[in-house]
Amino acid sequence: MRKLVLFIHMLIFLQSCGFNMDTDKYSFDNFKSTPIWDLAKAVRADNTDLIMEILEDDRIASMIDLKDPKYNQTLLSLAIQDKKNKAFITLLKKGANPNKLLGKKMDATPFIDAIWNIEDCNLFYVETMLKYGANPNLKIKNPNPGYYFESSYPLLVAVKVGCIDLIKLLVNNGAKLNCFIRHEPTGLKEGVISSALYSDNMEALKYFVIEKKVQIPDTVMITGFEKSDKKFYNLREILSTDEYKYDSDNYGVKKNKSELRKFRDEVIEYLDKIGK
């Protein structure tokens, strides 16, 4: 039922997460031809004192969010990717924008990149940027009809990434549970429940449905992308299918299956209790 949707999501995920042939996308050398090359070198060295000294020049300070001419990345995004933690904090203190649109397609931000690339559920970058104005409800709008943005909302990205502490951090900082993106041409609304299903994130599903009591739509998932093939299902029906039994090698399942079944069963029990 969900294999086509999952396959498409995986392709988009690979594109969105930076799995591409541009190995120098996050290279500080991309700033060599720009007026902030000295600042870029100071960030690469993680030299806080030198960064502060360079930014005393108001002209340079005004260009703190200048993008490199090749990949449209800022020094803040490079500091995150290259784990220049002292430089990262210094740039934020001096006004670097965590919500700046990045990339050739303008489909990411430093904040979104930090969520996509979180390691071992380390919340340092995300938590710090929230303190410096990162918008947990920033929607990256689709500039072209038919072009799909995987990174539309930070919360939906976090659900796919899978870290429950990250999800809770965003929600506790104001991320709206009713955010969604609309898929064309199906018209399917993908919200937190659909994202949890796509990514087999049953822990997140339990959190949204039972703890946060998010509004459960009457139809949650669609199969097929031709009008004649449209089939809608409610959440209870989906969780009762063979594909969510987690008793075999399901596509995309990398978590402990007994844990997945436990969270799924708790959601089903709750749905039965409330009559959904």
209-223 per-position pLDDT tens digit: 999 999 998 887 655
Question: Which of 135, 152, 169 is at the close of a domain?
Answer: 152
Is a pLDDT exceeding 90 seen at residue 30? yes
In this prediction, residue 43 carries a pLDDT of: 98
Residue 101 belongs to a domain: yes
* Last residue in a domain, options 103, 136, 152: 152
Q: Using an 8 Å Cβ cutoff, are 133 and 98 in contact?
A: yes
Residue 64 in contact with residue 109, Cβ under 8 Å? Answer: no
Considering the domain architecture, whether residues 49 and 139 belong to the same structural domain is answered as: yes
User: Is 165 domain-assigned?
Assistant: no
Same domain as 140, residue 243? no
Regarding whether 190 and 148 lie in a shared domain, the answer is no
Q: Domain for residue 83, yes or no?
A: yes
Minimum mean pLDDT among 29-43, 80-94, 130-144, 196-210: which range?
Answer: 130-144
Residue 36, sorted as left (phi over 0), alpha (psi -120 to 50) or beta, turns out to be: alpha
pLDDT at residue 13 tops 50? no
- pLDDT bucket at 55, cuts 50 / 70 / 90: very high
88 domain-assigned: yes
Q: Mean pLDDT of all residues in the chain? A: 85
Is the pLDDT assigned to residue 228 strictly greater than 50? no
Q: Of 2 and 46, which is predicted with more confidence?
A: 46
* 192 and 136 in a common domain: no
Establish if 146 belongs to a structural domain.
Answer: yes
Q: Which amino acid is at 260?
A: L
- 116 and 181, same domain (yes or no): no
Chosen domain end from 152, 167, 190: 152
> Is residue 5 predicted with pLDDT exceeding 50?
no
> What is the b/e burial string over 212-239, where b = at least 16 CB atoms within 10 angstroms of the residue's CB?
eebebeeebbbeeeeeeeeeebebeebb
Are residues 147 and 195 located together in one domain of the fold? no
102, 187: one domain = no
Question: What average pLDDT does range 36-65 have in this prediction?
Answer: 98
Query: Is 169 a member of any domain?
Result: no
pLDDT score of 62 more than 60: yes
Q: 135 and 194 share a domain?
A: no
Query: Cα(first)–Cα(last) distance of the chain, in Å?
Result: 21
- Picking from 158, 185, 179, 161, the residue whose alpha carbon sits closest to that of residue 170 is 158
Asked if 50 and 42 count as a contact pair (C-beta separation under 8 A), the reply is yes
Using an 8 Å Cβ cutoff, are 247 and 257 in contact? Answer: yes
Calculate the alpha carbon distances from 248 to 2, 50, 101 in Å. 16, 56, 41
Judgement on whether residues 16 and 70 belong to the same structural domain of the protein: yes
The radius of gyration computed from the CA coordinates of the chain, to the nearest angstrom, equals 21
Tell me the CB-side half-sphere exposure of residue 81, using CA atoms within 13 A.
19
What is the CATH classification number for the domain harbouring 32?
Answer: 1.25.40.20
Q: What's the pTM value of the predicted model, to 2 decimals?
A: 0.85
Answer yes or no: is pLDDT of 20 > 50.
no
Provide the percentage of residues in the chain whose pLDDT is more than 90. Answer: 62
Same domain, 127 and 199: no
Q: Rounded to whole angstroms, how far apart are CA atoms 250 and 124?
A: 32
Specify the number of domains making up the chain. 2
Q: Same domain for 141 and 215?
A: no
On whether both 121 and 235 belong to a single domain, the answer is no
Does some domain include residue 164?
no
Domain of 121, in residue numbers: 1-152
**Residue 181 — pLDDT band, cuts 50, 70, 90?**
confident
pLDDT tens-digit readout, 81-133: 999 999 999 999 999 999 999 987 777 899 999 999 999 999 999 999 999 99
Asked, for residue 160, whether it belongs to a domain, the answer is no
Read off the pLDDT of residues 230-266 as tens digits, 9 standing for 90 and up: 567 889 989 988 888 887 665 555 568 899 999 999 9
